[in-house]
């Protein structure tokens, strides 16, 4: 399992770089106003491309770590990887929603309203529900193809990787500032 721990550290390092990009685009940090709209557009396009590349690197490294931790025979690998690739494609789409939610948080951080905070939190909760459902559905497929033991190992390894990713993202996001509730509430 030593290889999995090393892989987890690599994934963590990659995510710190990706989440740092999001933090840099946060309006809470003082930034000089761009002289031209094209400069702002170019900067945002560069940030978006960087995030895209970082996400590809994270997925590739995560796949490597999962593959190593699964300890699959050739026959098992032939059954595992198509299911995993389908799972990863669906997870990537879900993570697109997550990136949008984090971006909304960064854009609204300095002027967060109760309504926007509620919208962002509900978006995060919906994301986690869908991700849990996706993992459960993938477990059912893994169990049918490889048995309960290998299916359970997949869930264990994948959950650990997702928890590392979640921890890194959460550790990079500033806590929301909340005004005291009005008296009587």
Domain positions in the chain: 2-172
Percent of the chain with pLDDT over 70: 71
Q: How far apart are CA 111 and CA 180, in angstroms?
A: 15
- Name the pLDDT band for 24 (thresholds 50, 70, 90): very low
What are 44-84's pLDDT values in tens digits? 677 767 777 777 777 888 889 999 999 999 999 999 999 99
Provide DSSP, 6-62.
HHHHHHHHHHHHHHHHHHHT-TTS--PPPSSHHHHHHHHHHHHHHHHHHHHHHHHHH
What are 94-123's pLDDT values in tens digits? 999 999 999 999 999 989 999 999 999 999
pTM, 2 dp? 0.71
């Amino acid at each position: 399992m030593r290889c999995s721990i090393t892989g987890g550290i690599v994934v963590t390092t990659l995510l710190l770089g990706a989440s740092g990009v999001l933090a840099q685009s946060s309006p809470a940090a003082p930034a000089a106003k761009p002289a031209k709209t094209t400069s702002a557009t170019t900067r945002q396009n560069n940030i978006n491309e960087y995030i895209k590349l970082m996400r590809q690197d994270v997925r590739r490294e995560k796949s490597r770590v999962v593959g190593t931790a699964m300890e699959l025979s050739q026959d098992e690998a032939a059954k595992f990887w198509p299911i995993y690739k389908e799972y990863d494609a669906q997870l990537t789409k879900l993570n697109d929603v997550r990136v949008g939610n984090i971006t909304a948080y960064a854009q609204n951080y300095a002027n967060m309203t109760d309504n926007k905070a509620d919208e962002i939190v509900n978006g995060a909760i919906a994301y986690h529900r869908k991700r849990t459902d996706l993992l459960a559905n993938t477990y059912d497929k893994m169990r049918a193809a490889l048995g309960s033991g290998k299916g359970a190992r997949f869930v264990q390894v994948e959950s650990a990787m997702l928890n590392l990713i979640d921890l890194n993202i959460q550790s990079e996001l500033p806590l929301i500032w909340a005004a005291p509730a009005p008296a009587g509430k």
